[in-house]
Amino acid sequence: MKVMSYMAQWRGIAKEAMDRTAIAVKFLCCLHITDAYFCSPTHIYGPSMLPTFNMVGDIVLAEHVSQRLGKVRHGDLVVVRSPSDPKKSITKRIMGMEGDTVTYFDPMLGDATRVAVVPKGHVWIQGDNIFASRDSRHFGPVPYGLIQGKVFFRVWPLDCIGVPGQ
């Protein structure tokens, strides 16, 4: 009789452990899907987006739906896979869409400006601080497929919480 009660007790413990494990796995799957397909936090740092973002770092939320639906436009802040280092992500502002003619200041040529036409399937991105930004002026138009998300809300620092640039 005692052996049966111990077995029943162990079965109850094992069932509860499996139930809790299933809940944790479901939560982690939901978290992964949310992070990969809907919205994720991103840490932005460096001088290229001054004064919009702090040099020491801001944490923003980037949604991943707009670029899939083709709903990014001029002036949007986007997180992009870096064309020069695919292990990194960069945050820049869209300055031109496909078919646009972009006139830009080239710091490598002194005071000279240059003109570029954005090809189909590409965007032209630039940092807000043109003197300290590696962007389309250096590596050309960026394929639309490298856009990872559109920044829509600043979370940190708390004194700057809200929509960036407002």
Identify the CA nearest to 78 among candidates 124, 140, 36, 139. Answer: 124
Phi, psi angle pair for 149, to nearest 5°: -175, 165
Residue with tokens 């559109």: 150
Identify whether the C-beta of residue 10 lies closer than 8 Å to the C-beta of residue 2. no
Displacement of CA 115 from its chain's centroid (Å): 28
Long-range contacts of 68-74 (CB under 8 A, 24+ apart): 71/150, 72/123, 72/147, 72/150, 73/97
Q: Which of the residues are catalytic?
A: 48, 92
Residues 6+ apart with CB under 8 A from 22: none
Q: Give dist(CA 128, CA 130) in Å, integer.
A: 6
Q: Give dist(CA 79, CA 146) in Å, integer.
A: 9
